[in-house]
Homo-oligomer: A and B are copies of this chain.
Amino acid sequence: MLNSSENLQNLIAEFANLPGLGRKSAGRLAYFIANAPKERIDSLISAIKNVRDNIKKCKICWTLSDSDICNICSNENRNKKQIMVVENERDMIAYENVGEYKGVYHVLGGAISPLIGIGPNELKIKELISRLKDDIEEVIIATNSSVEGETTATYLAKIIKPFNIKVTRIASGVPIGSDIENVDEVTLLRAFNGRTEL
Contact = CB atoms under 8 A, between A and B. Distances in A.
Interface stretch (A66-74, A124-132, A138-146, A165-173): A66-74
Contact of A90 (B7, B27, B42): B27
Given A4-B65, A6-B66, A32 B18 contact: yes
B34 A4 contact: no
A10 B29 CA distance: 18
B44 A7 contact: no
A10 B72 contact: no
A25 B20 contact: yes
Which applies to chain A's interface (DSSP): helix, strand, loop or mixed? helix
User: How many copies, total?
Assistant: 2
Interface stretch (A51-59, A76-84, A154-162): A51-59
B2 A55 contact: no
Interface stretch (A91-99, A114-122, A190-198): A91-99
A38 B50 contact: no
